[in-house]
Amino acid sequence: MSAAEDLPLIRKVRKIFEKSKFDFVTDRVHFWIDGDDDELTEVDVCVIQGNRMFLIECKSGSLKNRNTQLRRKKELISAIKSKSVRKINSDNNPKLALSRLDDVDHVYLCYYLGDESVYKNHKASLESKEILVWNNDAVTYFDAVSETLR
């Protein structure tokens, strides 16, 4: 599945957090860390509330290169916690301020898996790695209660 096919899921998740009036919500975020000339990773949706950050991956189909993606996300989480991210921007906010990360102490990785069979096949494995896993039912519920989530 391409990023374009994931876009409806990204929009749903972004809408939920915007309705919940979280401090900061953006999508398609690019991160670079100290000592790395190349982009470290891209995250579909990034949400910050106080000292908590949620990095949300939205997948409408299979999880291609899952282990590589998870390794890169774990590296990103370590970089955020150690304050070694040197640049951040997003497609809708190219001048995103690095200072947005200053107060972040807790980082949570979440996967929204839009395909039910992919969700069933990967849920237990992802959760065993302390990753939050959502399916369409969870996102529908979160959307229904989003104004009270905060």
- Let me know if domain 3-143 sits in CATH 3.40.190.10: no
pLDDT in tens, 68-113: 888 889 988 998 998 888 888 887 776 677 888 888 999 999 999 9
* 29 pLDDT tier (thresholds 50, 70, 90): confident
The Cα 42–Cα 54 span in angstroms is: 13
The predicted pLDDT at position 145 comes to: 87
> Taking 80 as the threshold, does the pLDDT of residue 35 lie above it?
no
Residue 135 pLDDT exceeds 80: yes
Both tokens assigned to 149: 């989530």
Gap between the Cα atoms of 116 and 3, Å rounded: 18
Q: Is pLDDT at 2 greater than 60 in this prediction?
A: no
Cα gap 5→129, rounded to integer Å:
26
Q: Which residues contact residue 98 at a Cβ distance below 8 angstroms, ignoring those fewer than 6 apart?
A: 85, 86, 87, 88
Domain ranges of the chain: 3-143
* pLDDT tens figures, 36-78: 666 567 889 999 999 999 999 999 888 877 888 888 899 889 9
In whole angstroms, give the CA distance from residue 34 to residue 26: 23
Rounded to two decimals, the pTM is 0.86
